[in-house]
Amino acid sequence: MGLCLPCMGGAVKDVVETPDPEIKRRQLAEAAEKRQMEASSRGIKNVYSVEQKKKKQEEIEKRMAASGSGGEGGLRWQVG
């Protein structure tokens, strides 16, 4: 019945060549990065302010870890 062979006259132009594996891998990586960026900013109106808040929170956590208090808050419970 109907065989699709590239030996027909104009059919050679219609054949799509697969890209080099390295090029395809790079394109897939770029697409994945783009999806991650879009997903991370979904629902956030001001991305810059969220990033600033994250940085500020990380700095606070670093200071807490460096001070050695470890979340005790400097308070002691005394019984007696």
* 8-58: pLDDT as tens digits: 555 556 667 777 889 999 999 999 999 988 887 778 778 788 889 999 999
Model's pTM, two decimal places? 0.39
Q: How far, in Å, CA of 10 to CA of 32, rounded?
A: 37
Examine the pLDDT at 66 and tell me if it is beyond 80: yes
Q: Could you tell me which residues come within 8 angstroms of residue 64 by beta carbon, excluding any fewer than 6 positions away?
A: 70, 71
